[in-house]
């Protein structure tokens, strides 16, 4: 039950943050909000995963932050829909850039987050050992 509640709580926060970003970026003709959500969400998920791999943590916390928060904040379906809209409006180059930056940026940021998370997790373990 703790796992389900933490996922639900994380999803509420992630979805709320995504909605605020949507409001802030909706006047733009380019889906910058969705791009930011997915790339920064990739970084956050990589960071959390890297940290948890090094540090270890409770399952409910991993699920709440990973599945709940990151899952609620990022959105694949909106990314696909925005891509189709850009393409159908005749913006072929913008569509290619959007898809490329989302995928390549997501990959780069998840790796960067994972590496940073492992370093932070390793650093906190070393600090504990020195006390």
Q: Does the pLDDT at position 129 exceed 90?
A: no
Per the annotation, where are the binding residues?
71, 74
Distance CA 98, CA 39 (A): 11
Per the annotation, where are the binding residues for Na(+)?
71, 74
Instruction: Give the count of alpha carbons within 13 A of 5, CB side only.
Output: 2
Q: Does the pLDDT at position 131 exceed 60?
A: no
Banded pLDDT at 130 (limits 50, 70, 90): low
81 is written with which tokens? 């829909």
Quick: pLDDT tens for 13-69: 999 999 999 999 999 889 999 999 999 999 999 999 999 999 889 999 999 999 999
Q: Does the pLDDT at position 127 exceed 80?
A: no
Quick: pLDDT tens for 76-117: 999 999 999 999 999 999 999 999 999 999 999 999 999 999
Residue with tokens 């605020």: 20
CA geometry: angle 59, 64, 11, nearest 5 deg: 160
With a CB cutoff of 8 Å and minimum separation 6, the contacts of 27 are none
Quick: pLDDT tens for 4-14: 999 999 999 99
Q: What is the pLDDT of residue 113?
A: 97
Q: What is the pLDDT of residue 122?
A: 84
């Amino acid at each position: 039950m703790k796992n389900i509640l933490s996922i639900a709580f994380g999803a509420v926060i992630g979805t709320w943050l995504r909605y605020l970003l949507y409001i802030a970026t909706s006047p733009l003709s380019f889906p910058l909000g969705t791009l930011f959500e997915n790339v920064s969400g990739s970084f956050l998920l990589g960071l959390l995963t890297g940290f948890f791999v090094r540090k270890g943590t409770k399952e409910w916390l991993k699920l709440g932050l990973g599945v709940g928060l990151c899952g609620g904040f990022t959105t694949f379906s909106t990314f696909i829909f925005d891509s189709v809209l850009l393409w159908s409006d005749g913006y072929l180059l913008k569509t290619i850039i959007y898809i490329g930056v989302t995928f390549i940026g997501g990959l780069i940021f998840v790796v960067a987050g994972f590496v940073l998370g492992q370093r932070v997790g390793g650093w906190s373990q070393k600090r504990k050992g020195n006390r």
